[in-house]
Structure 1
Amino acid sequence: MTTPLAVSIVIPAYNEESTIEPCVLAALAQTVPAHEIIVVDNRSTDRTAAIVAELQASHPDAPLIYLPQFDEQGLVPTRNAGLDAATGDVLGRIDADSVLEPNWVEEVQKAFADPEVAAATGPVLYYDMPLRRFGLKADDTLRRAILRLAREYHFVFGSNMALRASAWQAIRGEVCRDEDDLFHEDIDISVHLYDAGLTARYIPTMVAGMSARRIDDSPRDYYSYVGRFDRTYTHHGVRNRRLRAPAWVFLAVYPVAKGLRWGQGEWDARRPQPPGSRR
């Protein structure tokens, strides 16, 4: 009988006191336990560290690790520190506002049972948007369409991705440090996986919840965020226009998502609240 692969979960965090608790609790509440859950704290000045300490105290048997990364500010060095420290066969990487579905680790293990799979990613459910389950189906449909456009090239998305430990070691020295914070670090990983001939798969049952808070950005900031796709590909000399498909999708859905987000906020504001509750 094959021994199940050990799955580590790495969570980079910077001032995430509002989201880190549900993120960690979901990672703990898996049908198959994670090998370890590593919260990598990048110079947080809020209660992020204190909340992780409280969770460690309330779950003393859980493999929950707090790892400070105070040497450099930035997502890439923080992500790298977590992936370098992880000891699992497969290294999951999520955001501090991600909320994993209970079977996430189990689905990751199934995906990586295929030795050809070097990396995997899945759809997301926007938990702070209306029509959440419909939104999950729409997200899955869009990601499948993007992959058809990209053909043999597969993307991995930072809010919901996993790498075989050997794949991370293969690209570790090649991934861009992005000191100026101009790129999409997950697209950078995708490019380096592809260049190394490593297979990334889309796994529709590997579901993570995430916040739609990016939609709250101003149009200028949002379009700058989407522009990271072009900046990342231009840096790598990638000219295939089909690979711009995720950027096209993000631009197309922004007005609709912004309207839904506004409508959800208006509905929440007008909904009667029980006495003593907080919105």
Structure 2
Amino acid sequence: MSVVIPVRDDADHLRRCLAALEAQTRVPDEVVVVDNGSSDDSAAVAAAAGAVLCSEPERGIARASARGFDTARGDVVVRLDADSVPPPHWIATALALLEDPTVVAVTGPGRPIDAGPLVRAAWPVLYMQPYFVLMRSALARPPLFGSAAAVRRTTWLAVRHRVHRHDPEVHDDVDLSMQLDPAWRVLADRALTVGVSSRPFSSLPSALLRARRAGHTFRVNGRRATPVRRWARRFRVELRRHHAHAWWRSR
């Protein structure tokens, strides 16, 4: 089991994330930190923690994340942000959910750990709930949340050639979510909640940037992002499964 963490100029958060990984009840077999052109001591922090350090000079979180997935050697690849703080049970819970062979990926929401009462109250209503509800409606299944997701390596290998890794404007977790077949099972579970920075609410420009990148990601994915096509694909596959199950039961 590998953990992938893209980072750029985020040494303090990275140090906290790596400490949280060391405290897991199921310690990861490998931690891959992808330095995306940091000018601070992010690389030194990763090296001091014994992480596998990759350098990705091409700027963009989609590029850095894909580089990490390609480098990771585990059968399961966990994707965290540098500001993610997984609770001690997080990895063990993710692996338990993936024991079901029909599940290709699992994910959970984030909760702000460095915000005041107002932001903490608004966070689920204005950010997490809309993200999971709206994206599920568009994708025909739960989306991945980049701060807290675990994906089978075989799943990544099946879609790695389709992700827009060279486009710095894509929302990388939304883009990866769109490459997964709508009929594949992705579980979103509150037990996989991680602590995150409140930076998405730090300013109006920050929130607008995220919204703009989400829209751009839908545009570059074209027909693959069309909700009607995705729901139709899911219903066709589920109908075939139902008929096959009924046939076997009748024998």
Q: TM-score when scaled to structure 1?
A: 0.72
Q: How far apart, CA to CA, are the structure 2 residues paired with 1:71 and 1:178?
A: 12
- Alignment correspondent of 2:102: 116
- Alignment correspondent of 1:193: 180
Between stretches 127-136 and 92-101, larger displacement belongs to: 127-136
- Alignment correspondent of 2:161: 173
How far residue 171 of structure 1 moved from its aligned partner, in angstroms, is 0.3
Q: How far apart, CA to CA, are the structure 1 residues paired with 2:124 and 2:202?
A: 22
Q: CA RMSD in A?
A: 2.6
- Alignment correspondent of 1:227: 212
1:106 maps to 2:100: no
Paired residue secondary structure (1:189): helix
- Alignment correspondent of 1:84: 70
Q: How far apart, CA to CA, are the structure 1 residues paired with 2:211 and 2:64?
A: 22
How far residue 221 of structure 1 moved from its aligned partner, in angstroms, is 4.3
Q: Considering fraction of residues, name the structure with more helix.
A: 2
Which amino acid in the other structure matches residue 158 of structure 2?
A
Between stretches 168-177 and 129-138, larger displacement belongs to: 129-138
1:43-64, CA deviations, whole angstroms, 9 ceiling, x for partnerless residues? 21111122223333xxxxxxxx
Please list every run of 5 or more consecutive structure 2 residues that lacks an aligned counterpart in the other structure.
Answer: 231-251
Structure-2 change in CA distance of 1:136 and 1:48 (3 Å): same
How far residue 75 of structure 1 moved from its aligned partner, in angstroms, is 1.6
Which amino acid in the other structure matches residue 150 of structure 2?
A
Which amino acid in the other structure matches residue 17 of structure 1?
A
Which amino acid in the other structure matches residue 102 of structure 1?
P
How far residue 142 of structure 1 moved from its aligned partner, in angstroms, is 5.2
Q: How far apart, CA to CA, are the structure 2 residues paired with 1:146 and 1:74?
A: 25
- Alignment correspondent of 1:93: 79
**Percent identical across equivalent pairs?**
30
2:13 maps to which of 19, 23, 38: 19
Q: How far apart, CA to CA, are the structure 1 residues paired with 2:139 and 2:146?
A: 20
1:133-188, CA deviations, whole angstroms, 9 ceiling, x for partnerless residues? 86787677556644664583321011111110000000011111243x22211111
Count how many residue pairs are aligned between Structure 1 and Structure 2: 225
